[in-house]
Amino acid sequence: MSNKMVFGLIVALVALAVGWNSFYVVSQTERGIVLQFGRVVKDDVPPGLHFKLPFVQEVRLFDGRLLTLDTATQRYLTLEKKALMVDSYAKWRIANVQRFYTATSGLRSIAEERLSRQLESGLRNEVARRTLHEVVSGERDQLMADITATLDASAQRELGIEVLDVRVKAIDLPREVNRSVFERMSTEREREAREHRAKGRELGEGIRADADRQQRVILAEAFREAEEIRGDGDAAAAAIYAEAYNKEPEFYSFYRSLQAYRESFTSKSDVLVLDPQSDFFRYLQNRSN
């Protein structure tokens, strides 16, 4: 290979390197800045193919999409000095590329670390202004709106970051508080159960007493009606007997004597000590009578 060919090859390689370092592409999902000796000379480069000075200028590209900051669960105190464990996250994206690069050197880890501290501080302030009920349910939406507005203002001013939303995923009590709360709830449920059982026993006694009273009343009414019916039957029988006696007094007397004989001599061992001439044996002495 001749010197001319080697020189031409070197020139081609240098031209290729210069051309390769003269152009860059910014995609739709990226935000870019151009640096010259470490100083920003062009920020917020639009998407597309662009030219830069080779070996003099440097291009830094950052993710321009909506990003999620998922923070660790933190302990906060409410207005009544009650502890809460709050798990939250924030949605953010780069709004000012130059300010973002200046504040974080373009490192997402630094941006999220500083944003996380601001989020923690903002949540602590907002929770401290509210009661437990307001944080959990009463003003939860308002709390998230307030912290979003506060965090967005500070993040844009200091980091060039736009915070679009802050959400509270979960709010729990600390473990030591959970145990005491569960014990108190258990004690309260046991007390309510005892009250319900006592009321049930009292109601049962009342029902049984009323049933016993109704039973006695029903039995008394039945006995009264039975006695009335028995009395009416005895009266009707007596009237029939009287009517029959009035029709045939002698036959009625004879029938009554036969009944007396039957009842008196039901057993062979029965013994009667009577005068044979007594009126009891009148129908046995003389059949003609």
Domain finish residue from 139, 172, 205:
172
17 pLDDT more than 80: no
Domain range for 58: 21-65
Which of the four pLDDT bands, split at 50, 70 and 90, describes residue 178?
Answer: low
72 and 168 assigned to the same domain: yes
Say if CB 243 and CB 251 are below 8 A apart. no
Same domain, 45 and 134: no
Count up the domains in the chain and report the number: 2
Determine the pLDDT at residue 10. 67
d(CA 8, CA 6): 5
| Residue 152 placed within a domain | yes
Q: 168 and 73, same structural domain?
A: yes
Give a yes or no: residue 219 inside a domain.
no
DSSP count for the chain of H helices, then E strands: 8, 9
Look at residue 74 and tell me if it is in a domain: yes
Decide: 111 and 90 in contact? Cβ < 8 Å.
no
Task: Report the CATH number at residue 104.
Answer: 3.30.479.30
51 domain residue, yes or no: yes
Q: How do residues 122-140 score in pLDDT, each as one tens digit?
A: 999 988 888 888 888 777 8
45 and 90, same domain (yes or no): no
Q: CB-based burial of residue 80 (10 Å sphere; 0-12 exposed, 13-18 middle, 19+ buried)?
A: exposed
Q: Which of 21-35, 55-69, 89-103 has the highest mean pLDDT?
A: 89-103
Question: Any idea which of 73-77, 86-90, 104-108, 260-264 has the lowest mean pLDDT?
Answer: 260-264
Do residue 101 and residue 60 come from a single domain?
A: no
Same domain? 45 vs 115: no
Residue range 207-220: average pLDDT?
92
DSSP state letters, 227-244: HHHHHHHHHHHHHHHHHH
Same domain, 37 and 92: no
pLDDT at 161: 92
Task: For the chain, give the mean pLDDT.
Answer: 82
Lowest mean pLDDT among 149-153, 154-158, 165-169, 247-251: 247-251
89 Cβ contact partners less than 8 Å away, ≥ 6 residues apart: 68, 69, 70, 71, 166, 167, 169
55 and 25 assigned to the same domain: yes
Is 60 exceeded by the pLDDT of residue 203?
Answer: yes
Res 18 pLDDT > 90: no
Q: How far is CA 223 from CA 2, 178, 230, in A?
A: 144, 66, 10
Residues 70-85: what's their mean pLDDT?
87
Q: Is residue 83 part of a domain?
A: yes
Q: Verify that 132 and 142 share a domain, yes or no.
A: yes
**pLDDT score at 222:** 92
Q: What is the DSSP letter of 266?
A: S
Q: Are residues 50 and 76 in the same domain?
A: no
- Tell me the range of 24-38, 178-192, 238-252 where mean pLDDT is highest: 24-38
What is the mean pLDDT of the segment spanning 2-15? Answer: 64
Q: Which of these three, 153, 172, 191, is where a domain ends?
A: 172
Q: What is the pLDDT of residue 289?
A: 46
In a domain, 77, yes or no: yes
